């Protein structure tokens, strides 16, 4: 197969889109979320469906909260 053929380009694009889709699906489970009241970062524990706080705070959220007392 010649690398300059259109069939090869289509196969490479489909493979890359497949890899990207797989990464998006696997990374969505460990997404960090922000508690709206405390601005603390947390992840959802899928085993007990509860929040697990990371003891870290989002600086943008804290700045926004300080502007709106």
Closest by CA to 20, choosing from 28, 32, 31, is 28
Asked if residue 45 and residue 26 are part of one domain, the reply reads no
Higher model confidence: residue 25 or residue 29?
A: 25
Sort residue 39 into left (φ over 0), alpha (ψ -120 to 50) or beta. left
Q: How far is CA 9 from CA 14, 19, 34, 64, in A?
A: 9, 15, 41, 46
Q: Taking all residues of the chain, what is their mean pLDDT, rounded to a whole number? A: 83
At 62, the pLDDT band (50, 70, 90 cuts) reads: confident
Asked if residue 68 and residue 45 are part of one domain, the reply reads yes
pLDDT higher than threshold 90 for residue 13: yes
Asked if residue 35 and residue 47 are part of one domain, the reply reads yes
**Domain total of the chain:** 2
Asked if residue 23 and residue 40 are part of one domain, the reply reads no
Closest by CA to 51, choosing from 37, 65, 64, 66, is 37
pLDDT higher than threshold 90 for residue 18: yes
Asked if residue 63 and residue 39 are part of one domain, the reply reads yes
Asked if residue 43 and residue 21 are part of one domain, the reply reads no
| pLDDT (tens digit per residue) in 26-54 | 765 556 788 888 889 988 877 888 888 88
Domain that holds residue 48: 31-69
Give kind and range of the element (H or E) at residue 67: helix 59-67
């Amino acid at each position: 197969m010649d690398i300059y053929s259109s069939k090869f380009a289509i196969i490479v694009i489909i493979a890359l889109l497949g890899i990207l889709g797989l990464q998006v699906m696997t990374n969505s489970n460990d997404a960090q979320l922000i508690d709206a009241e405390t601005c603390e970062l947390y992840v959802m524990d899928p085993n007990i469906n509860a929040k697990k706080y990371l003891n870290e705070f989002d600086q943008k959220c804290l700045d926004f909260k300080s502007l709106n007392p």
